[in-house]
Amino acid sequence: MNTESSIFAQRELVRRPAGEAGEVVVTISVYSPRQISGGWECGFQISNLDESKELLEGKASGVDSFQAALHAMEQVAIFVYASFAHKNGELTWHEEAGYGLPLLQSMSDLIGDEVIPLQTLIVA
């Protein structure tokens, strides 16, 4: 995925799995928006967010490059805050609360105890 785009932004979170020694780096990559027919799209990837080490990939769209990039970062936030690693308190970013990701107000319940299984999240 995203072979035509370069990385626009990257962030690393640390996941410390409960009951295990050591830590795992969770890498979030957002690719440069690219123009498509009728608008713009921006791809993203998240690696090592859960124990399966499955690479999560998605695309977001917008009317311009700014909106596409913002929507991609909002989708990344949904994946991160909906993860079991977040619910279990395994994730940190610079030892601070939160991960510095934009989260829509309507999704703020993800920060609490609610977890949405990743399979139910639809990424355009």
Is the overall model pTM greater than 0.75, yes or no?
A: yes
108 domain-assigned? yes
pLDDT tens sequence across 3-17: 567 999 999 999 998
Domain extent, residue 53, equals 7-120
For the chain, the residue count is 124
Q: Which two tokens stand for residue 84?
A: 């079991």
1 domain-assigned? no
12 domain-assigned? yes
The total number of structural domains that make up the chain: 1
pLDDT tens sequence across 62-116: 999 999 999 999 999 999 998 999 989 899 998 766 788 887 766 666 555 444 4
